[in-house]
Amino acid sequence: MKKVTLIAFVLFTGLLTSQAQVSVSPGIRGGLNLSNLTNFGSSDIKPDFYVGGLVAIKFNKYFTLQPELTYSRQGAKSREFLIGGYGYNDVNYDLNYLTIGAVGKFHFGGNGFHVLAGPSLDIKIDDNFPNYETSPIGADIAFVGGIGYSLPNGLTFEARFKHGLIDIYGYDNMNNDDYYYDDIILNYAFQFGISYTFRVK
């Protein structure tokens, strides 16, 4: 078993380091967030933005590992009914995170088109949720997947889907007998943006 693991590791390392020398390039990224929350009443998509930095570690023309640090404004748009039930106001519920993540990019044929996937740790910076009983917890873990296209000049266009894995209230109701999956409130967002990596000689 140890020999098989060693052989697999050597082959994987060889694949990553083949075709080209490893290069490291810093960069910036930003774009549009279209976020919402699951099981959050009659909520709608809330448009906002994300912005941050990245480091593109290119192992070869097929694979790039990209650690990222991003400020991401998320949450949902919901309805707040007026007293007496006559009419309502649209209210933005903000959940703003500092996101520490890393995505792996797999380039088809070594060209600009790629798919990407990876995890992120989202640390809550602030929120504007009414504090009736409890506030959203301070962190979330999310999974990101998407597609993109990179130009030779370092400019990249991407579309991503990000989905949280932890209830924003920390599963406070797990001990209740009437707790079901449909009660879990999770973050999710569609992200459309651009990034630019700087060439480092």
CATH classification of the domain holding 64? 2.40.160.20
Terminus-to-terminus CA distance in the chain, angstroms?
A: 42
Q: Which residue has the tokens 């301070």?
A: 138
Within a domain: residue 138?
Answer: yes
Within a domain: residue 14?
Answer: no
In whole angstroms, how far apart are CA 152 and each of 113, 149, 193?
11, 10, 17
Q: Is the dihedral of CA 95, 37, 169, 41 positive or negative?
A: positive
**Distance between CA 169 and CA 166 in Å, rounded?**
8
**What is the mean pLDDT for each group of 10 consecutive residues in the chain (201 residues)?**
49 49 95 95 92 97 97 90 68 95 95 96 94 84 98 96 94 55 87 94 65
Within a domain: residue 11?
Answer: no
Within a domain: residue 9?
Answer: no
Structural domain total, the chain: 1
Within a domain: residue 191?
Answer: yes
- pTM, 2 dp: 0.81
**Distance between CA 66 and CA 53 in Å, rounded?**
10
Within a domain: residue 15?
Answer: no
Task: Return the pLDDT at 84.
Answer: 62
In whole angstroms, how far apart are CA 181 and each of 124, 126, 139, 173, 184?
23, 26, 20, 11, 5
pLDDT by residue (tens digit) across 36-87?
A: 999 987 789 999 999 999 999 999 999 999 999 999 999 999 877 666 657 6
Within a domain: residue 12?
Answer: no
Q: Write out the residue range of the structural domain in which residue 130 sits.
A: 20-197
**Distance between CA 6 and CA 121 in Å, rounded?**
31
CB 44 within 8 A of CB 83: no
